[in-house]
Amino acid sequence: MNEANKERLSWSRRHFLRTILATPCLCAFAPSAISLAEEVDPSIVEPSAEEAVKAIDAMYRTSAFNATSERLDATRTIQRSVDRLRAAEFDSYFKSSREDAAKEEENRAVLRYLNSSFDKVLNELKETKVDDNSVVFWHVYNMGYLIKTPTQTIAVDIRHRRAAELLPYIDFLLVTHNHRDHFTSSLCDAATLAKIPVVSNFLQNDWIVEENERTLEIGDSTIQLKRVDHNKNLIKFVTTFEINCGPRSGDCVVYHVGDACDVNQLTPKEPVDVFIPHLAVGLNVPKAVNETIKPKLTLLSHILELGHQIDKWRWSYDYGYNAVRKCANDTVILPVWGEKIVYSRG
């Protein structure tokens, strides 16, 4: 039996099992070890290694400010691989050894990209010297960013299997909330041990902030913290961070709001330079961008959360580009993994 037939057969088996499990009177007949399986569309073909390398290269050579056909083609190639990777497979990759991870990266374009973009970020983070009146951003994954100012490097919501490698290069770490797509325990633990501040509303350390509002000063950054809702059940679950990156940056203000869902709760104290919202948590991003916050630049985030099932809350590149279009504002961009964005106060 060839691979395509095997895949089709296992897909129809999963489809059959899903039907059985969804039918209460038949549940007793389902094999006990089988849970509701994620279905992979058998018509989607994993990109070859050659296609993957070409797509990744195109991602790095193009810019979020200009979604050329080359970049869009590359997103389609990576998306095919995203659409074939089950959440459980991603979880197991995340926990795997370096050797096992490398094998997966050979075979799956999305994991090759996730790993290679981390190398890119690490190298550029080490080499980049930030000019005065500027701040440099790197997009890591989901809502994870590294923010380098002329004086400090700030990490926010970093989720990556290699996150702990960032430790020597960061001055402090911010975590918006206690959902695993927004932090990596190995990095948080290592930073805490190394006495690097890890600020969150849930990690039990010297830097925990449980109040509704607070101002922190770390180095020459001043951070306004405010707790807001994630959804109607998770009230005040998310801490937003309004970071004034200090005088050398030109007092550049970065506003990372994690999975904040209510535009009326977003009340920054200063004009915002760079706004980082979740594009699909119910937040009215067009209103925030065009009417209330009016940032100079918006980095729409939270696509391709691979810990979510293929057909559930794993927003695609296409979804992201649609969200950009809805904002009808050319200061709104969709960064991809590994993207470097230089922001200068003009």
- How far apart are the C-alpha atoms of 306 and 87, rounded to whole Å? 6
As a 3-state breakdown, the chain gives helix, strand, coil percent values, each rounded to 5, of 40, 20, 45
In the complex, minimum distance from the CB of residue 232 to Zn ion, in angstroms, rounded to a whole number: 16
HEC string of 234-256 equals: CCCCEEEEEEECCHHHCCCEEEE
Residue 126 DSSP SS3: helix
Of 20 and 234, the one with the shorter C-beta distance to Zn ion is 234
- How far apart are the C-alpha atoms of 37 and 15, rounded to whole Å? 9
Here's the x/- map for Zn ion, 129-168, by CB under 5 A: it reads as ----------------------------------------
Choices 42-50, 149-157, 175-183, 325-333 (CB under 5 A): range interacting with Zn ion: 175-183
141 DSSP β-pair partners: 144
Of 105 and 181, the one with the shorter C-beta distance to Zn ion is 181
Of 54 and 236, the one with the shorter C-beta distance to Zn ion is 236
Please give the helix or strand (H or E) that residue 2 lies within, else none. none
End-to-end CA distance of the chain: 63
Choices 27-35, 85-93, 177-185, 292-300 (CB under 5 A): range interacting with Zn ion: 177-185
Q: Rule CB under 5 A: choose which of 157, 181, 242, 273 binds Zn ion.
A: 181
In the complex, minimum distance from the CB of residue 179 to Zn ion, in angstroms, rounded to a whole number: 5
Residue 229 DSSP SS3: coil
Here's the x/- map for Zn ion, 243-262, by CB under 5 A: it reads as ----------------x---
Choices 86-94, 96-104, 173-181, 283-291 (CB under 5 A): range interacting with Zn ion: 173-181
Q: Which residues of 289-328 are buried (b: 16+ CB within 10 A; e: fewer)?
A: beeebebebbbbbbbbbbbebbeeebbbbeebbebbeebe
In the complex, minimum distance from the CB of residue 227 to Zn ion, in angstroms, rounded to a whole number: 16
Q: Give the phi and the psi of residue 36 in degrees, each rounded to 5.
A: -60, 110
Contact 164, 191 (CB under 8 A): no
Token reading at 140: 């890591």
Of 80 and 182, the one with the shorter C-beta distance to Zn ion is 182
In the complex, minimum distance from the CB of residue 230 to Zn ion, in angstroms, rounded to a whole number: 8
Here's the x/- map for Zn ion, 255-294, by CB under 5 A: it reads as ----x-----------------------------------
In the complex, minimum distance from the CB of residue 177 to Zn ion, in angstroms, rounded to a whole number: 8
Contact 213, 223 (CB under 8 A): no
Binding-residue total with Zn ion (CB under 5 A): 2
Of 103 and 180, the one with the shorter C-beta distance to Zn ion is 180
Of 105 and 259, the one with the shorter C-beta distance to Zn ion is 259
Residues that bind Zn ion (CB under 5 A): 181, 259
